[in-house]
Amino acid sequence: MLRVIVDKAIYAGGKRSDIDGDISDAFDLARADGDCFVWIGLFEPDEEEFELVKDELRLHPLAAEDAVSAHQRPKLERYDDTIFVVLKTLAYLDETSDIEVGEIMIFLGRDFVVTVRHGAGNPLGPVRKHLEESPELLKHGAASVLYAVCDEVVDRYGLVAHEVEVDIIGLERAVFDPGARDVTADIYSLKREVLEFRGAEDPLIPVLQEIVKGRVAECGGTREYFRDVLDHLLQVDGQVDAHNELLNSVLTAHLALLGKQQNEDMRKISSWAAIIAVPTAIAGIYGMNFVHMPELKWTFGYPLVIILIASISGFLYRRLHKNGWL
């Protein structure tokens, strides 16, 4: 028995029957009955562990390789009588505000479904339980599993989109908070997460559209269900586009405010440099020790020079302060 099997069962007439023996016997039973299907759930199998399933169901080597290696784009492909679907799963990590990406590969045949999950996000236990509590949906056969998995994945997209929106609002507040720190790196980090989000959900749209348009015969009885999933996905797609545009605006505003702050700092530095230049210039002249400097012998020469320095410096300070440079 494979160590990576999370769950396995036979479904007939909307009801579950556990598989006690070898999975090969279960597949043979499903083929003989003709009105049931087997659902095998696997978690991160390696090539050797997946070999038994591949040989038993005669899965295409390329699809089997994709299922083991993962890192695929969302897609729907047909290999003879088997449909191969790849979904990207998303999970929001509260501790780091990152989006964790995983994958679910689904092999769909007339009398079997094999789900291969990579990554800790989106466990399929709740999906299986929900399906088993909906016998009318299960009666649609193996296609009901594909629908239920897609529905769960897209619902998670909506939750993640909400969390991303909360993060963007936090960044907006940080940008316009007086004296706030530089959050440029945070903005770019969130933009990368949003682009990764788009890479997961956007390619799934044409996959669902193929099913909704009736181009996948195996899902003919569940098209209305898939249409609902597609509607939700399009809403999420619009949210992701809006998030990306909003982040662009936040970044532009942040850079503009940083530039303004830098200009203000440069003006203050230049203003103080101009004020300090006055006593520096006068002191420099008297520090040259020329022989013929008549004011050196004046009784009030020193206090007059101090008054001159203070007057010019005070005049410069008032003018620069009035102009908003200080």
**Considering Cα of 129, then 154, then 196, then 88, what sign does the dihedral take?**
positive
Tokens representing residue 290 in the block: 């020329």
Rounded Cα–Cα distance for residues 259 and 281 (Å): 32
Query: Each residue of 216-226: pLDDT tens digit?
Result: 998 988 999 99
pLDDT at 291: 65
Other CB atoms within a 10 A radius of the CB of residue 186 amount to: 18
Identify the band that residue 1 occupies on the pLDDT scale cut at 50, 70 and 90: very low
The confidence score (pLDDT) of residue 310 equals 82
**What is the rounded CA–CA span in Å between residue 123 and residue 153?**
10
Decide the pairing of beta strands 112-118 and 5-12: unpaired
Q: What is the DSSP string of 267-308?
A: HHHHHHHHHHHHHHHHHHHHTT--S--GGGG-TTHHHHHHHH
Task: Give the tens place of pLDDT for each residue, 123-178.
Answer: 898 999 999 999 889 889 899 999 999 999 999 999 999 999 999 998 888 888 87
Copy the structure tokens of residue 194.
């949003």
Q: How confident is the model at residue 2 (pLDDT cuts 50, 70, 90)?
A: low
Q: Is the pLDDT of residue 288 over 80?
A: no
pLDDT > 90: what percent of the chain? 41
pLDDT at 14: 84
Residue 95 has a pLDDT of 83
Q: What pLDDT does residue 145 have? A: 95
Structure confidence at residue 266 as a pLDDT band (50, 70, 90)? low
User: Is the predicted pLDDT of residue 263 greater than 80, yes or no?
Assistant: no
pTM (two decimals): 0.78
Which residues 6+ apart lie within 8 Å of 312 measured at CB? Answer: 278
Assess whether pLDDT exceeds 80 at residue 322. Answer: no
Is the pLDDT at 96 greater than 50, yes or no? yes
Average pLDDT of 14-19? Answer: 84
Name the nearest CA neighbour of 118 among 198, 18, 50, 203: 50
Mean pLDDT comparison of 204-213, 254-263, 317-326, highest-scoring range: 204-213
Number of Cβ within a 10 Å radius of residue 265 = 10
Mean pLDDT value of segment 286-300:
66
Do residues 16 and 9 make contact, with C-beta atoms less than 8 angstroms apart? Answer: yes
Q: What are phi and psi of 290, to 5 degrees?
A: -65, 150
pLDDT bin (cut points 50, 70, 90) of residue 262 is low
Q: What is the pLDDT of residues 39-93, one digit of tens each?
A: 999 999 988 888 888 888 889 999 999 999 888 899 999 998 899 999 999 999 8
Mean pLDDT of the chain, nearest integer: 84
Q: Does residue 324 carry a pLDDT above 90?
A: no
